Amino acid sequence: MNSMLTNSQQKTICSQLGRVKLRLLYKASIHGFTGAAFHQRCDNRCPTLSVGYNASGYVFGGYTKQPFSQSGQYVQDGQAFLFTFSGEKLIKYPVTEPAYAVRMVANSGPYFGEALVLVNGSQAVVHNNPGNYYNFNAAEMHGNDLNLAECEVYEVEEIPEFEKPWRPMVWETEKRTELMDSIKLYCPMISSVPQVRVLLIGPVGAGKSSFFNSINSVFRGHVSNQAIAGSSTTSLTTKFRTYSVKAGRGGKPLPIIFCDTMGLEENTGAGLDIDDIISILKGHLPDSYQFNPSAPLHPETSGYRKSPGLKDEIHCVAYVTDACKVSIMPTKLELKLEAIRRKVNSMGIPQLVLLTKVDEACSFVSQDIRNIYKSGYIEEMMQEVSARLGVPMSCVVPVKNYSKELELDLNCDILLLTAVIQMLRAADSYFDELSDRKSNIETKE
């Protein structure tokens, strides 16, 4: 059976319900627009999501944690709600009388209070009565089109947690020390490059500046906020900034520079311009360059590097992605990222994904960050972002940035440092490729 709910709609709903996925139980066009067919396939299953579709293009329905039956009784459910889609946006209507949330009626499909019934009286129609245990606007919910083109019922399944981590990690003080030492001692294999330059790209609020601040905090030994970070609908970073991390207060600069950019925005003429990204990748952009989304950088701009060296170029690109928003990434933003990825690919620059806010996305991880690789939900998020951004799973690295904490946490530090190690390894591969290419050219000559 093929679901009529789009992947985007499924992900939007699941993001409201926790670490879950949907499994289709009943499809009226296949099994029949009858109460008997619905109950045969859906009774004693829970939680469930019931969805109606009409010829006017509306997608609407309800959710309940209670199992369906044919008892004729009302069933209490304080978490039940009705919903409709407005474009990609989900509008919810919570139950107002939990004791009457769902009614178990033998000759009808999903029966939410007396407010909404899908497949009413074993016919392909909707019973609609706002205000009876659910308050909603009928025109907003289904456009007052009460004829059903399709009805589907899904079982809402929790994504399991694993006993053993699917990606092994060592969570010990010695491991943090080992990672920090490896970063301090790292030396790019090309002598003309003193520091690896990593470009951080991502949507507004994904955590690019926070990632730099978090790495800086680890090496400072306390939480610090050098780069401007916070929550906003538009980018807080308006200039191109390069940040060098020092090995402790007054210490030597580490062999890595983070290049922070203006946030990506889905609308044309807003956020970071793709032409500016190309200039950054090639090393033309001066530090503290003020972004102008409506006018990309040009060679006459003050500070423009007309003949940048390899040391000025980008050696690794890290896409910073909010784990809470992977499933509901706007299509326009996804297309922008795809265009950037193609350009980076054509230049042979290695790419990673930093998956941020993993604790906010998964309560299991929120309980203990060490559950990160035991979480089936985080694994699914990583698989999805891998597919969407076209990078292998091995190049997706989950992290938790410091945002509200006052003190460092060993396990967060280990995740953050592991991300830096992956960046340096990616840069090494890039330098290897450049050296091999140079050797081949010299051999031919």
Q: Which domains does the chain have, with CATH numbers?
A: 7-158 (no CATH), 173-444 (3.40.50.300)
- Do residues 285 and 239 make contact, with C-beta atoms less than 8 angstroms apart? no
| Distance from C-alpha of 445 to C-alpha of 119, rounded to nearest angstrom | 77
pLDDT at 234: 43
DSSP characters over 273-286: -HHHHHHHHTT-PP
> What are the distances in angstroms from CA 362 to CA 105, 160, 163, 182?
36, 12, 16, 30
Neighbouring residues of 257: CB distance < 8 A, sequence distance ≥ 6: 195, 196, 197, 198, 242, 243, 244
- pLDDT mean values, one per 10 residues, the chain (445 residues): 87 86 95 96 96 96 96 94 93 95 95 95 93 94 96 92 88 96 93 93 87 94 72 52 85 91 65 75 76 62 80 94 82 83 92 94 90 91 90 95 92 97 95 78 57
| Helical pair 274-281 and 331-346, crossing angle rounded to 10 deg | 30
Q: Is 239 helix (H, G, I), strand (E, B) or coil?
A: strand
Strand-pair category, 196-201 with 253-260: parallel
| Distance from C-alpha of 290 to C-alpha of 302, rounded to nearest angstrom | 11
pLDDT at 288: 66
pLDDT at 270: 55
pLDDT at 268: 58
| Distance from C-alpha of 345 to C-alpha of 433, rounded to nearest angstrom | 13
> What are the distances in angstroms from CA 212 to CA 169, 216, 252?
22, 6, 17
pLDDT at 392: 93
Q: Which residue has the tokens 């991502």?
A: 202
Q: How confident is the model over 87-145, as pLDDT tens digits?
A: 889 999 999 999 999 999 999 999 999 999 999 999 999 999 999 899 999 999 999 99
234-269 exposure pattern, b = at least 16 Cβ within 10 A, e = fewer: ebbbeebbbbebebeeeeeebbbbbbbbbbbbbeee
| Distance from C-alpha of 90 to C-alpha of 84, rounded to nearest angstrom | 6
| Distance from C-alpha of 113 to C-alpha of 76, rounded to nearest angstrom | 10
Q: Is 311 helix (H, G, I), strand (E, B) or coil?
A: helix
pLDDT at 232: 43
Percent of the chain as helix, strand, coil, to the nearest 5: 35, 25, 40
**Cis peptide before 47, with omega less than 30 degrees from 0?**
yes
| Distance from C-alpha of 200 to C-alpha of 205, rounded to nearest angstrom | 12
Token pair belonging to 206: 């994904």
DSSP state for residue 406 in the 8-state scheme: S
User: What's phi and psi for 393, nearest 5 deg?
Assistant: -55, -35
Strand-pair category, 351-356 with 396-398: parallel
Q: How confident is the model over 14-69, as pLDDT tens digits?
A: 888 887 889 999 999 999 999 999 999 999 999 999 999 999 999 999 999 999 99
Sign of CA dihedral 434, 439, 440, 444: positive
Segment 120-128 long-range contacts (CB within 8 Å, at least 24 positions apart):
121/35, 122/33, 122/34, 122/35, 122/36, 123/33, 124/28, 124/33, 124/148, 124/149, 124/151, 126/52, 126/54
DSSP characters over 61-87: EEEESSPB-SS--EE--TT-EEEEEET
- Do residues 357 and 372 make contact, with C-beta atoms less than 8 angstroms apart? no
| Distance from C-alpha of 164 to C-alpha of 341, rounded to nearest angstrom | 33
